[in-house]
Structure 1
Amino acid sequence: MDTSVPSVSERRVHVVPLGYERDRIVEPLRRHGADVAYLLVDAPDRDAARGDVDFDAAQAVDPGDIRIDPDGLTAYQRDAWAAVAEFAEVRAIPVAHADVYDVLGVTTTVAARHRASAEDGDRLFGNVSTGPRIAAVGVALACMIVGARPYSVEPERHRHDRREEPLTTGIERTVDLPIYPMDAPTTDQVAVLGRLHDRAEGNLTTEKWNLIEWARERELSFLREAGESRTAKYRALETHVLSPLRERGYVDLEDIGRSDTVRLTETGRRVFFAFKHKLDGR
């Protein structure tokens, strides 16, 4: 999770399904200084359209005021709600946990409310550990769409030995999940990530011109239309490779003297391993 200090004007806003958990809901919010916690309370029969959020009702203290049956909550869920309210603003939203589109829509609506995609907006996080699997998928997809930070919380211990008995028994139904195209890096971008990875493994720094010469030897496509001008080659590298990678947090640039050193971030390293299959046969 991103734990860097927010600016004076921005707040840490968390979206957390109120599932059958207590510590995995409360403790991450406490430890990471949540300012606002949206608790997604399961309401399978709610009347509102998918993704709709009544922000005025969400601030109610009494579950009955947000059209949630208090008797439907367990004692530890109510305790989690009260515990979070001691250090953060709690805003409860009824949502159908078993409807991935409802969870996704509610989460993106919250993101829009807090301008999470804007530079001057709040910082949004999504807990993907505290609800059923479908709710987790909805929160995770929403975070990817709006550029928020999803996080997972590993429990210290389980209630029973999973080596002796399974977590669940039987099945009720199978649910189709939405498919969203991911903005995967291009083959050229993956190749450059691989070059940076190999250089870093050898404790070698990498300048832009080193990347250009290496890419020319391997006939990477981004240089084919650049011509022979040195300036044009730098522009092609920046436009087609480095700028997109930098925007996604895969690389960093550092000014050293008259040269720009390109460094692979930890995220960029993981992305390289995830997509290096694109380089098969090259």
Structure 2
Amino acid sequence: MSTIHTNMTNIVNLRVHVAPVGFEIDRIAIPAKQMKADRVWLLMHTEPSKDRAQGYMEKIRAQLKKEKIEVQIAHSNRFDLFKILKALREIVQQEEGNDIFVNCSSGSKIQAIACMMACMMFQGKTKLTPYYAEPESYSSVKGEQLSSGLKSVVKLPAYEIHTPKPVLVQALKIIQENGGKITKKEMAKIAHEKKLITVHARDENFQQARFASLDKNIIQPLLNEWRFIEVERIGRTRWIKITQEGLGAVEFLV
């Protein structure tokens, strides 16, 4: 059996594993034990009564507790990519400074995709390492876990994906909180009040300078770089509207 080995003498941070729970036990429990995890976050569906993986979670938790590995439970809608990403971001924030190993082979396909994306987007002070646990065998017997044993753990490359600057995320939140659309005039006022933009101009040029700062620092990046908003002119009024992509970003970045 080959796996990822961690040298205790070189690491002072906690080794934290994150794994969505599906219909497998070994694929989560064995890598955590082999890699000497200090804590494991099990990601479950938001509605336990409708989650058929509940029994598997209990067995995983029992196995890990025997190994004196702390277990934490997090919840998200297993069918919603953005809600899964949000749950993962919250875990990363709580575990800031620790070494996080993310199991991208357990749970559903959507959860696996979210785990890989999270490792690419939330790299920072906290080191995120995605991995794939290859089982020894698969089962087709109803009522049994889908796979058993552990053949190897493969470390996956996590190329960094940039996320919008905090000021842009705050701007998106403002638009969302105003029903998904806001006039440019009102946006300029709020952005200036919340210090998302700065204006250096005399009173007679203040309004024009504030619009210019909003365009350069907020509207253009969100519109052209991220495609999170669209701008529509109705009469003499310009409206800033959040796009579906923007709504998705707000979902897991705020």
- With the length of structure 1 as denominator, give the TM-score of the two structures: 0.44
Q: Which has more strand, going by share of residues?
A: 2
